[in-house]
């Protein structure tokens, strides 16, 4: 049995040090040790995207990243992005367009959408679909999700993050 090691990580803006087993995934660390259950453990193979978090500004699969690898890094979870209102417009658009059904994939979809819109302000529908290719959804068929992300991109470009058009399909 290996001994836990101290890991210092900035999670959603708060720097903390906790013990982590060397082979403990970041997803398990966030869920079990910190109670941040928005990072879902789906396939645990990096295929479904339910575990996506932002690691130093880049979306990563928390199920494939060891907690110790995230030492010294900044991690943003869906909880942090939500509480800071960074993704409020995305949440509103997802809700208004019924881009969420069972909700299991939604946190990962929101993190993916946030990462995409951070890298590219006005992605095409093809670029949105490409960005979502690492996220698996069994319920929505993706069209509503693509519509929601596209609407947010348009509203942000127009400076209208509180636009009513986010709440209703175009």
Here the CATH number for the domain that contains residue 140 is 1.10.150.120
Burial of 4 (0-12, 13-18, 19+ CB in 10 A): middle
Predicted model pTM: 0.89
Q: What is the pLDDT of residue 161?
A: 63
Confidence of residue 162 (pLDDT cuts 50, 70, 90): low
Q: Which of 81, 99, 134 is the last residue of a domain?
A: 81
Domains: count for the chain:
2
Confidence of residue 164 (pLDDT cuts 50, 70, 90): low
- Same domain as 76, residue 9: yes
- Same domain as 94, residue 48: no
Alpha-carbon distance of 5 to 69, in angstroms, equals 12
* pLDDT-wise least confident of 2-11, 33-42, 109-118, 138-147: 138-147
Mean pLDDT of 26-44: 94
Q: Supply the mean pLDDT for the chain.
A: 92
Mean pLDDT of 78-88: 94
CA 92 from chain centre, in angstroms, equals: 15
Q: What is the pLDDT of residue 160?
A: 79
Alpha-carbon distance of 118 to 149, in angstroms, equals 12
- Assess whether pLDDT exceeds 90 at residue 6: yes
Are 143 and 132 spatial neighbours (Cβ–Cβ below 8 Å)? no
Confidence of residue 170 (pLDDT cuts 50, 70, 90): low
Q: Which of 32, 63, 81 is the last residue of a domain?
A: 81
Here the CATH number for the domain that contains residue 14 is 3.10.20.30
Decide if 39 is inside a domain.
yes
The domain of 97 spans: 86-161
- Same domain as 71, residue 104: no
Torsional sign, CA 110, 156, 95, 35: positive
Q: Are strands 74-76 and 5-11 parallel, antiparallel or unpaired?
A: parallel
Confidence of residue 19 (pLDDT cuts 50, 70, 90): very high
Summarised one tens digit per residue, pLDDT across range 108-148 is 999 999 999 999 999 999 999 999 998 988 887 799 999 99
- Same domain as 122, residue 102: yes
Summarised one tens digit per residue, pLDDT across range 57-75 is 999 999 999 999 999 999 9
Q: Which of 30, 48, 81 is the last residue of a domain?
A: 81
Q: What is the pLDDT of residue 79?
A: 96
């Amino acid at each position: 049995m290996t001994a836990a090691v101290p890991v210092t990580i900035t999670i959603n803006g708060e720097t903390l040090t906790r013990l982590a087993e060397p082979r403990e995934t970041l997803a398990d660390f966030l869920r079990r040790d910190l109670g941040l259950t928005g990072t879902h453990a789906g396939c645990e193979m990096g295929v479904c995207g339910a575990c996506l978090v932002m690691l130093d500004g880049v979306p990563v699969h928390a199920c494939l990243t060891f907690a110790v690898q995230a030492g010294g890094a900044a991690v943003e979870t869906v909880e942090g992005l939500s509480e800071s209102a960074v993704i409020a417009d995305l949440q509103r658009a997802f809700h208004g367009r019924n881009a969420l059904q069972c909700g299991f994939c939604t946190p990962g979809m929101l993190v993916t959408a946030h990462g995409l819109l951070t890298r590219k302000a006005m992605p095409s529908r093809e670029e949105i679909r490409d960005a979502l290719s690492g996220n698996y959804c069994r319920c929505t068929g993706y069209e509503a999700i693509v519509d929601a992300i596209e609407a947010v991109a348009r509203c942000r470009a127009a400076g209208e993050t509180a636009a009513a058009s986010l709440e209703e399909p175009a």
